[in-house]
């Protein structure tokens, strides 16, 4: 039986990759995460508890392309890579 609530709550699956200290702090390098259709990058960052990393220079790539704005909705089957800031010296 389908109703309006079912169609409004469509889920998507994304693959998320973590690098460097992010992988170490989360204990994972790669996960698949179900999200509600329309979830933004910023919402995923909040859900993963990575807010502090954003102010420290966290970079995000979707399907291999770096993004600068985190208010875009994530598409089904996307691959998101969370990249910590590169420190030089």
pTM to 2 decimals?
0.83
Would 88 be classed as within a structural domain? no
Token couple for 62: 């979707």
Q: Is residue 60 part of a domain?
A: yes
Decide if 35 is inside a domain. Answer: yes
51: Cβ contacts below 8 Å, ≥ 6 apart: 45
The total of structural domains in the chain comes to 1
- Tell the residue number behind the tokens 């390098």, with chain if given: 29
Tell me which residue range forms the domain holding 45. Answer: 10-83
C-beta neighbour count of 58 within 10 angstroms:
17
Residue 57, domain CATH: 3.10.20.30
Q: What is the pLDDT of residues 44-77, one digit of tens each?
A: 999 999 988 888 899 999 999 999 999 999 999 9
- Average confidence score pLDDT of the chain: 88
Say which residue, 29 or 9, is predicted with more confidence.
29
Q: Does 3 fall in a domain?
A: no
């Amino acid at each position: 039986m389908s109703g309006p609530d079912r169609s409004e709550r469509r889920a998507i699956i994304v693959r998320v990759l973590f690098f460097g200290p992010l992988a170490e702090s989360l204990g994972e390098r790669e996960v698949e995460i179900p999200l509600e259709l329309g979830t933004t990058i910023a919402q995923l960052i909040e859900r993963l508890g990575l807010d502090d990393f954003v102010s420290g220079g966290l970079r995000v790539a979707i399907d291999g392309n770096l993004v600068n704005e985190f208010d875009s909705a994530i598409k089904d089957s996307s691959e998101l890579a969370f990249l910590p800031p590169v420190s030089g010296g």
